[in-house]
Chains A and B, each alone.
Chain A
């Protein structure tokens, strides 16, 4: 059998994140991209592939031009926050096929600054035409959609609001160890429950932060790895899945599309969920972490509530460290967070986690395997990538 051309993540970076009032989204894309190239130590002339959800009407052309790139492979797949796991998978396939040698994924958003400056509303309007005409009269906000899904899980499996709050508490505990996180002050379950109600059962701290920020990831064919200053993190397997757009088309609100993308990713990587040393999971809302842990196979369906208890998601908590940077709930969430999951997973596998570094067992060894699972829209799409060193 001919060996497949292997693909590694060789560069990762975040742009300035959190509160960034004086930069455009273009500038944040560019800052993250330059930092990722510098991280890898690769010459920009080697980048022949570019992928981004982009800006403007010709995504990703505007951002490619802004960066001075003239790629021969592009991807602008836009499936929500999971876009970046799906793009990384597509990029890895393109590299394996020989259609690209080095692919840059770049993202930047000023979601927080835009709301502050009145450039957009806090609640997004997605339009009133086509299938949306059957939704707009009812005020199903993004948060309400997630809240309805969480409620169904509570109904079917007895998951409690305290268990969901545990997810927020532990994300904040991990964020406390991350100097780049936006919110680092520890919170308690009682504080989560006592917050202002947004869409019941979700109070404010069940919902992600709204930050500014960007990220970039550089993937390269194996023959370029030796030219990099970083140690490679290999793309071992990936999976993607699209479910629904209208909530009424979703068959079971207690099963996320990660159930499909995760199974595909683990099968293709030839590893099992219980071999993972940590997981980076898209967490715009607490319920996403809980249900995605079930759907990736870290516990059985309906067991997510018990799984997240007792601090098991914390770095050093004795269980499965999840969202080691603090996640969207506490670290950063500029709108399409999936690329941040890949950045954090790579940093952990390189041993660059600092205070929040995941260790294997008592001897303090670095992690060898991790998974990043992005969810887009309102459980509309999912991309899962298994990474290893």
Chain B
């Protein structure tokens, strides 16, 4: 673990989430008492404090709320990854999620892949080494 700052440290409860992600599935938590979904996952419902909460596969669809193309991060291994697109997205099920948008565009070094990034852009989940990230859904209208 030493020397890398991008590795999540799962615990007994979140192991389910990361195991699913390793298999290419994004999970959220949904409360049976109030019906609301949440992310990041908690043992109980942060909205109503019910403990009647279960894992649920997310659709993997999301829209882009905001983003920043990061050019400086001296924590390994991010320095090798810059520029990358830090993003916050709204999952179709409601919860908001911190993530990265990958493959936004082929971009020359140092240039933000700005063209396709816009508020509300439709995204779909992808997985990079067991980590859920998002990519832009290229318009399928008429195709």
- Whether A and B are associated in the same complex: the answer reads yes
Q: Which residues of B contact A149 (CB under 8 A)?
A: 66
Q: Which residues of B contact A23 (CB under 8 A)?
A: none
For residue B40, CB closer than 8 A to chain A, the reply is: yes
Contact present for A125 and B99 (CB under 8 Å)? no
Please, what's the 1-or-0 string for A36-55, where 1 marks a CB less than 8 Å from any CB in chain B?
A: 00000000000000000000
Contact present for A134 and B67 (CB under 8 Å)? no
Please pick, from A122, A138, A155, the residue contacting B119 in the complex, using a CB distance under 8 A: A155
Q: How far is the CB of A96 from chain B (nearest CB, A)?
A: 34
Residues B56-73 near A (CB distance < 8 A): 65-73
Q: How far is the CA of A197 from the CA of B7 in the complex (A)?
A: 26
Q: How far is the CA of A305 from the CA of B121 in the complex (A)?
A: 25
Residues B98-112 near A (CB distance < 8 A): 98-100, 110, 112
Contact present for B86 and A139 (CB under 8 Å)? yes
Contact present for A133 and B97 (CB under 8 Å)? no
Closest to B132 in A: A137
Q: Which residues of B contact A147 (CB under 8 A)?
A: 68
Contact present for A133 and B9 (CB under 8 Å)? yes
Q: How far is the CB of B19 from chain A (nearest CB, A)?
A: 13
Contact present for A121 and B9 (CB under 8 Å)? no
Q: How far is the CA of A198 from the CA of B71 in the complex (A)?
A: 5
For residue A123, CB closer than 8 A to chain B, the reply is: yes
For residue A363, CB closer than 8 A to chain B, the reply is: no
For residue B75, CB closer than 8 A to chain A, the reply is: yes
For residue A57, CB closer than 8 A to chain B, the reply is: no
Q: How far is the CB of A115 from chain B (nearest CB, A)?
A: 10
Please pick, from A134, A139, A148, A152, the residue contacting B78 in the complex, using a CB distance under 8 A: A139
Contact present for A137 and B66 (CB under 8 Å)? no
Given known A128-B8, A248-B40, contact A199–B71 (CB-CB < 8 A): yes
Residues B1-41 near A (CB distance < 8 A): 1, 5-11, 14, 39-40
Q: How far is the CA of A223 from the CA of B108 in the complex (A)?
A: 67
Given known A137-B6, A148-B66, A248-B98, contact A125–B75 (CB-CB < 8 A): yes
For residue A16, CB closer than 8 A to chain B, the reply is: no
Q: Which residues of A contact B1 (CB under 8 A)?
A: 128
For residue A56, CB closer than 8 A to chain B, the reply is: no
Given known A122-B74, A199-B69, A248-B98, contact A138–B5 (CB-CB < 8 A): no
Closest to A147 in B: B68
Contact present for A134 and B98 (CB under 8 Å)? yes
Contact present for A246 and B78 (CB under 8 Å)? no
Q: How far is the CB of B15 from chain A (nearest CB, A)?
A: 11
Closest to B96 in A: A248
For residue A136, CB closer than 8 A to chain B, the reply is: yes
Contact present for A151 and B73 (CB under 8 Å)? no
Contact present for B6 and A139 (CB under 8 Å)? yes
**Most chain A beta carbons < 10 A, residue from B8, B88, B133:** B88
Q: How far is the CA of A247 from the CA of B89 in the complex (A)?
A: 11
Given known A129-B11, A199-B86, contact A136–B72 (CB-CB < 8 A): no
**Most chain B beta carbons < 10 A, residue from A129, A138, A248, A250:** A138
Q: Which residues of A contact B119 (CB under 8 A)?
A: 152, 155
Q: How far is the CA of A210 from the CA of B83 in the complex (A)?
A: 23
Closest to B14 in A: A133
Q: How far is the CA of A200 from the CA of B72 in the complex (A)?
A: 10
28 contacts between A and B (CB under 8 A): A125-B5, A130-B11, A131-B40, A133-B10, A134-B39, A135-B98, A136-B6, A138-B86, A138-B87, A139-B6, A139-B75, A139-B100, A141-B70, A141-B72, A141-B73, A144-B70, A147-B68, A151-B68, A152-B119, A197-B112, A199-B69, A200-B68, A200-B69, A201-B68, A202-B68, A246-B98, A248-B88, A253-B66
